[in-house]
Structure 1
Amino acid sequence: MSLIKKAALKEMLKINGVERVSDEAVDMYSEILEAIVEADAKVISSLVTHAKRVTVKPVDIKFVAGN
């Protein structure tokens, strides 16, 4: 089960021009996005640990998003 809210994802797709989307497509997309977030979170966690911090800062997010 994905932690990404399917209703929010469906709404974001509609806002960006998608007229209709099946529930199965939303399920698949949310699983893919969750996998990306999990992978990025591991890298972010490593960066923060390496910097001897416990708080994620915007610079950490920008670094991971840019790579």
Structure 2
Amino acid sequence: MSDKNKAILEEANAAIAEGNNEGFLSCCTDDTEWTFVGDKTLKGKEAVRQYMAMTYIEQGKRI
């Protein structure tokens, strides 16, 4: 993995850890594909945004 890609991954992971979905999404391209092995694939940044809004919940509140 290149240093640039590693830095992007670290930034995206830090955003998720902080509950910052939009910060995570800023690290994604519009044609992002997120594959859940053996399940489904989300295609596009908006699909990922919608998934995160419905799935990522912390302390009873959506993050």
**TM-score using structure 2 length:** 0.32
Q: Which has the higher contact order (CA 8 A, sep 6+)?
A: 1
Q: Which has the larger radius of gyration?
A: 1
**TM-score using structure 1 length:** 0.31
